[in-house]
């Protein structure tokens, strides 16, 4: 089994917190089962989100798992701050190292807009992973709890490889309706899997 370091940055909505729909502890439990080093940070606002990103970047984390609400324009933090994809990409630019993979667990966290935002930045993740599903296909708390074990066990068995991410996307899309996608930085742009004609 491959060992990785994962930082979970969770910016949970007040109603979700009240309902105990918080996936940070779920992802941290997965990491514990896999014998990975993990850290769970609660990011209530832009300042604490930047702190979490900088901690992940400067402490050599391989994966940054960002859990929050969002849409095709960007993400929403606990304090109801709306961050565009460009503003999210800006949060990574102070760090000298970027985690290899950015996993965005939010509605439409796999939108092409996030890849566009990172394309011309100096600091960018090699992999962006999320779901494109909208409306009735949007990611849900139960859907996330079912899906993330598939991704992380695939990475634990195969490493941070193209085949591991592709295998996870395929399996996750077989058991959920959330339209997961994986984007890999290659030759100056992010390549999408599945490709549009495979979706």
Per-residue pLDDT tens digits for 25-44: 999 999 999 999 999 999 99
pLDDT at residue 199 is higher than 60:
no
Mean pLDDT of 163-186: 96
pLDDT digits (tens, 9 = 90+) for 50-87: 999 999 999 999 999 999 999 999 999 999 999 999 99
Mean pLDDT to the nearest integer, 119-126: 94
In the predicted structure, residue 130 carries a pLDDT above the cut 70:
yes
| CATH architecture under which domain 5-198 falls | 3-Layer(aba) Sandwich (3.40)
| pTM passes above 0.85 | yes
Q: Is the pLDDT at 197 greater than 70, yes or no?
A: no
Whole-number percent of the chain with pLDDT over 90: 83
The partner residues of 186 in beta bridges, in order of sequence, read 189
């Amino acid at each position: 089994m491959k060992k990785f370091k994962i930082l979970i940055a969770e910016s949970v909505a007040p109603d979700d917190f009240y309902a105990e729909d918080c996936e940070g502890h779920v992802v941290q439990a997965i990491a514990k089962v896999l014998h990975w080093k993990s850290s769970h940070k609660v990011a209530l606002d832009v300042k604490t989100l930047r702190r979490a990103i900088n901690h992940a970047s400067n402490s050599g984390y391989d994966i940054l798992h960002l859990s929050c609400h969002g849409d095709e324009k960007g993400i929403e933090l606990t304090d109801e701050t709306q961050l565009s994809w460009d503003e999210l990409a800006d949060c990574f630019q102070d760090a000298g190292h970027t985690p290899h993979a950015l996993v965005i667990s939010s509605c439409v966290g796999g939108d092409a807009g996030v890849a566009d935002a990172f394309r011309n930045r100096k600091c960018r993740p090699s992999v962006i992973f999320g779901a494109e599903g909208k409306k009735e296909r949007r990611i849900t708390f139960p859907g996330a709890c079912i899906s993330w074990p598939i991704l992380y066990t695939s990475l634990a068995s195969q490493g941070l490889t193209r085949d591991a991410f592709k295998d996870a996307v395929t399996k996750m899309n077989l058991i959920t309706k959330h339209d997961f996608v994986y984007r890999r930085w290659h030759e100056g742009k992010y390549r999408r899997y599945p490709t549009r004609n495979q979706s």
